[in-house]
Chains A and B, each alone.
Chain A
């Protein structure tokens, strides 16, 4: 079984269902109540010569109008998503076993690299590097406390996402 996710005018996938944790729509998240923000989904990614990685994907259809608020919003989503995925994989949430895709339950949390990827539709390349720098700086506390590797916060546009088979 495969799954596709439509967000911000982009269709992500298709991905094997066992590799996708649709975090924003999952009961694990919705049962927490209002007031929390998370990213769209978490994707387990296998690449030749690299250990399995977990990509936290947030999709946007617009460029920041006000950078500070925009970056803070994304930071909250990524931070909550990484923490919630870890907690779910560790079965800290009730019914995690029933709600989490099989591959997440067996995820090697000790060695799995987590990457937070913001995909913005129609975003010019020359604007992405400064935004990536601003977001990385804002996410420094999560990067440090979770011991995320360098390059774990990435900003790309739909064209670059397509090159990596993230969207169709």
Chain B
């Protein structure tokens, strides 16, 4: 698991120090504060560690990382990821399973990463990035765009997910928590998504009825992605799951249920990084931290500064709660003058 993060001059993230990470970690902040950027930066680091020396992979860790950064952030050259106003180079240091992985490069870097140091042994796990929008209905377009056309557009978070969803569901014993999580995910909408190899399309199966992907609700497709990744064993107990805006396309009651499922999966070992600006997500995680007395680190962007807190210690000051209070005060002002 990721134990700590230190970032300097990484795009909009000028300085981040986040340690004592737990199985569930929350990132909150306004639009364009850099939440997604942070998730993607961590995803690139994790995937580099996971892909290095896997099977017959010949590329060096630097080459894997350079490719990952290029296709994830889709900048003309990876040096463009260095904060524009920064004097120094970009640097990233993470600890994974208590081992250091660090890299850094300057603004002029096109492909060769200047420094990379990894003390993390090869990992068999697969980490994944779940973007705000579902990808099932676009899966074949994403694969064609990237596999064949090699176009920018769908970044590596989408491409990797589209590839991971291609793996068939595996029968046989799965981890107990994964089985119950899949059951809960399928119960949320009373059915499940299945890949129909004849039509080469996903369809939603509810009882004896089958619905085409186009007639299936966004929320169902989104939940189905996690269900599929658990079912096809792409995710294992050592995986790290990065979820960007879990709230999108989900009703508040579905958000609460999804948070419950995430907690259960985290309990079995999967590590989650969740970026959100939903009051419901934050509140549900805060209550979970209190009920289970578990550490739930939260990194908040407040006035261009990143502040680390723990939901176990209480709800931190943040613009999302502030805005809910401001709306309440506006309502009282309207009512009472």
Leading 5 A-B pairs by shortest Cβ distance? A151-B335, A129-B328, A47-B337, A125-B325, A154-B335
The minimal Cβ–Cβ distance linking A78 to chain B, given in whole angstroms, is 14
Cα A158 to Cα B335 with chains together (Å): 17
Cβ contacts B325-337/A at 8 Å (1 or 0 each):
1011101101111
| Beta-carbon contact of B328 and A132 below 8 Å | yes
Given A125-B325, A126-B324, A129-B324; A151-B337 close (CB under 8 Å): no
How far apart are the CA atoms of A55 and B336 in the complex, in Å? 9
Q: Are A128 and B328 in contact (CB under 8 A)?
A: yes
- Residue from the list A50, A126, A128, A132 in contact with B315, Cβ < 8 A: A126
A115 at the interface (CB under 8 A from B): yes
The proximity string for A residues 95-132 relative to B, scoring 1 for CB distances below 8 Å and 0 otherwise, is 00000000000000000000101000000011011001
Q: Which A41-61 residues have a C-beta within 8 angstroms of B?
A: 47, 50, 55
Residues of B within 8 A of A156 (CB): 332, 336
Expressed in whole angstroms, the minimum distance between the Cβ of B120 and any Cβ of chain A is 41
In the complex with contacts A125-B329, A126-B315, A152-B335 CB distance below 8 A: yes
Indicate the size class of the contact surface on chain A: 10 to 19
Query: A residues within 8 A CB of B335?
Result: 115, 151-152, 154
Report the contact-size class of chain B (Cβ under 8 Å from the partner): 10 to 19
**B332 contacts which chain A residues (CB < 8 A)?**
154, 156, 160
Question: Across the A-B interface, how many residue pairs have beta carbons closer than 8 Å?
Answer: 34
Determine if B321 is an interface residue (Cβ-Cβ < 8 Å): yes
A115 contacts which chain B residues (CB < 8 A)? 335-336
How far does the alpha carbon of A157 sit from the alpha carbon of B335 in the complex, in Å? 15
Which residues of chain B have C-beta atoms less than 8 A from A160's C-beta?
A: 329, 332
B328: which A residues are within 8 A, CB to CB? 125, 128-129, 132
- In the bound complex, residues from chain A placing their C-beta under 8 Å from that of B324 are 126, 129
What's the minimum C-beta distance from B253 to chain A, rounded to whole angstroms? 15
A-B contact pairs, 18 of them (CB 8 A): A47-B337, A50-B337, A115-B335, A126-B315, A126-B321, A129-B327, A129-B328, A129-B331, A132-B328, A132-B331, A151-B331, A152-B335, A154-B332, A154-B336, A156-B332, A156-B336, A160-B329, A160-B332
Q: How far in angstroms is the closest Cβ of chain A from B116?
A: 45
Q: Identify the A interface with B (CB < 8 A).
A: 47, 50, 55, 115, 117, 125-126, 128-129, 132, 151-152, 154, 156, 160, 164
Q: Using Cβ atoms and an 8 Å threshold, which residues of chain B touch A132?
A: 328, 331
Assembled-state Cα–Cα distance A132/B324 (Å) = 13
Q: How far is the CA of A128 from the CA of B327 in the complex (A)?
A: 12
CA distance A47 to B334 in the complex (A): 13
Given the complex, which residues of A lie within 8 Å of B321, measured CB to CB? 126
A164 with B315, Cβ < 8 A, contacts A128-B328, A129-B328, A156-B332 known: no
